[in-house]
């Protein structure tokens, strides 16, 4: 199952709206086939692994990180492919919550005389599939809020200068993980001040890297025509409201840039409406990179699932310097957001804190 999980990790970003799944075929203690989910319209992990195994799949044991599907979608059902290949056993990590699958793949395999077991690698698989699992249960993508802040919680100096709060190792890490997400969201303030490209450049290049959908929340039409986020082949979605000028919206539209008008909430783009639209488009994971106003609205609406907080060993100290998370926030400490399943990692001199959000009861 460890090898299957490693295969699943290779599909993150590329497979959506399908889940990133890995599969391994083992015959007489030897791995004879392995595979992961291909981009939409392509083969599922089990089919890739079975094709590599060929005739050696007969009587073999298959390890897969998600219950094999039992229905026709863009591709034929994997459960039936496993039966036709003559495998003897299937071990899958977790049940697929999709109503079209949920238990049906297991049933089809069992009725065909295949020994079926579940649970091996369940925790690791659920982590890899956290976007897919939430999307299938709620229709919404899994939301990660990411920021880099000083020890005193500032994301920029009083002038707005934010280059660079964190160090070069953090930048390298950011470009390594960007390809695993389906979309990256920033606010118009970040576009105006930092003019980011929001492309994934692991190793310093975009070559061969999955490029997430670039999303800008721009309620009033502040994004300039020259913004880097409008350049290049990577697609861009600008989410705005009726408060923005129609002429500006027309200027923003281009070969790779789309503009959508969403409802406003407290004068800003309604982020839940944005997430529902992204979920409708098959986006499973969304990385919100700020700034503080956008993240504040996201936290106030209780839309965050996981946090990636990079803490840099610097002190900015200015009372007017922007903070990592603005918004209404907590009136009492009992209302503060907390984390569970926390991990801490060194990125050069910086510290990465990663954890799942726990919302306070009754706040």
What would the pLDDT profile of 227-254 be if each residue is shown by its tens digit?
Answer: 999 998 899 999 999 999 999 999 999 8
Number of neighbouring beta carbons within 10 Å of residue 162: 19
Roughly what angle, to the nearest 10 degrees, separates helices 78-85 and 45-53?
20
Residues 6+ apart with CB under 8 A from 30: none
Element (H, E) at 48: helix 45-53
Confidence (pLDDT) at 244: 96
Confidence (pLDDT) at 163: 75
Task: Please check whether residue 14 is in contact with residue 48, taking contact to mean a CB–CB distance below 8 angstroms.
Answer: no
Low-confidence stretches of the chain (pLDDT < 50) are none
Q: What is residue 273's three-state secondary structure?
A: helix
Cα 26 versus chain centre, distance: 31
Cα 131 versus chain centre, distance: 6
Confidence (pLDDT) at 317: 85
Number of neighbouring beta carbons within 10 Å of residue 100: 14
Could you tell me the pTM of the whole model? 0.91
Confidence (pLDDT) at 362: 61
Task: Please check whether residue 56 is in contact with residue 25, taking contact to mean a CB–CB distance below 8 angstroms.
Answer: yes
Task: Please check whether residue 144 is in contact with residue 181, taking contact to mean a CB–CB distance below 8 angstroms.
Answer: yes
Measured CA to CA, the distance from residue 129 to residue 49 in angstroms comes to 19
**Radius of gyration for the alpha carbons in the chain, expressed in angstroms and rounded:** 22
- 143: closest CA among 247, 269, 297, 249? 297
* Residue 312, Cβ density class (10 Å: 0-12 exposed, 13-18 middle, ≥19 buried): buried
SS (H, E, C) 164-220: CCCCHHHHHHHHHHHHHCCEEEEEHHHHHHHCCCCCCCHHHCCCCCCCCEEEEECCC
Measured CA to CA, the distance from residue 358 to residue 354 in angstroms comes to 13
- 354: closest CA among 130, 114, 68, 192? 130
Confidence (pLDDT) at 45: 96
Query: Which residues are part of the catalytic machinery?
Result: 46
233-266 burial, b at 16+ Cβ within 10 Å, e below that, comes to: ebebbbbbbeebeeebbebbeeeebebeebebbe
Integer angstrom CA distances of residue 182 from 80, 96, 179, 281, 283: 30, 20, 8, 10, 6
Q: Nearest 5 degrees, angle CA 189-CA 192-CA 194?
A: 95
Give the DSSP letter of residue 54: G
């Amino acid at each position: 199952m460890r090898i299957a999980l490693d295969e699943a990790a290779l599909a993150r970003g590329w497979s959506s709206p399908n889940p990133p799944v890995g599969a391994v075929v083992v015959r007489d203690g030897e791995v004879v086939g392995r595979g992961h989910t291909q981009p939409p319209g392509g083969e599922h992990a089990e089919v890739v692994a079975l094709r590599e195994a060929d005739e050696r799949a007969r009587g073999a044991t298959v390890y897969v990180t998600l219950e094999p599907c039992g229905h026709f979608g863009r591709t034929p059902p994997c459960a039936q492919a496993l039966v036709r290949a003559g495998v003897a056993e299937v071990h899958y990590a977790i049940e697929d919550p999709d109503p079209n699958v949920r238990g049906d793949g297991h049933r089809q395999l069992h009725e065909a005389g295949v020994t079926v077991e579940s649970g091996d690698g369940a925790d690791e698989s659920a982590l890899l599939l956290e976007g897919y699992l939430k999307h299938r249960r709620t229709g919404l993508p899994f939301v990660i809020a990411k920021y880099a802040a000083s020890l005193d919680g500032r994301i920029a100096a009083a002038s707005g200068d934010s280059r660079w709060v964190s160090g070069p190792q953090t930048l390298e890490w950011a470009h390594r993980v960007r390809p695993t997400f389906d979309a990256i969201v920033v606010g118009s303030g970040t576009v105006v001040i930092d003019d980011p490209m929001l492309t994934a450049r692991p190793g310093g290049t975009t070559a061969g890297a999955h490029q997430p959908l670039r999303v800008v929340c721009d309620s009033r039409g502040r994004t300039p025509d020259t913004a880097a986020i409008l350049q290049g082949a990577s697609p861009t979605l600008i989410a705005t409201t009726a408060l923005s000028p129609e002429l500006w919206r027309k200027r923003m539209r281009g070969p790779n840039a789309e503009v959508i008008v969403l409802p406003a909430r407290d004068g800003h783009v309604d982020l839940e409406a944005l997430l529902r639209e992204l979920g409708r488009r098959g986006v499973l994971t969304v990385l919100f990179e700020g700034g503080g106003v956008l993240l504040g609205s996201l936290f106030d609406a209780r839309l965050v699932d996981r946090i990636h907080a990079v803490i840099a060993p610097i002190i900015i100290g200015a009372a007017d310097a922007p903070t990592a998370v603005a918004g209404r926030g907590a009136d009492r400490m009992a209302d503060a957001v907390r984390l569970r399943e926390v991990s801490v990692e060194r990125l050069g001199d910086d510290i990465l804190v990663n954890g799942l959000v726990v919302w306070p009861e009754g706040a």
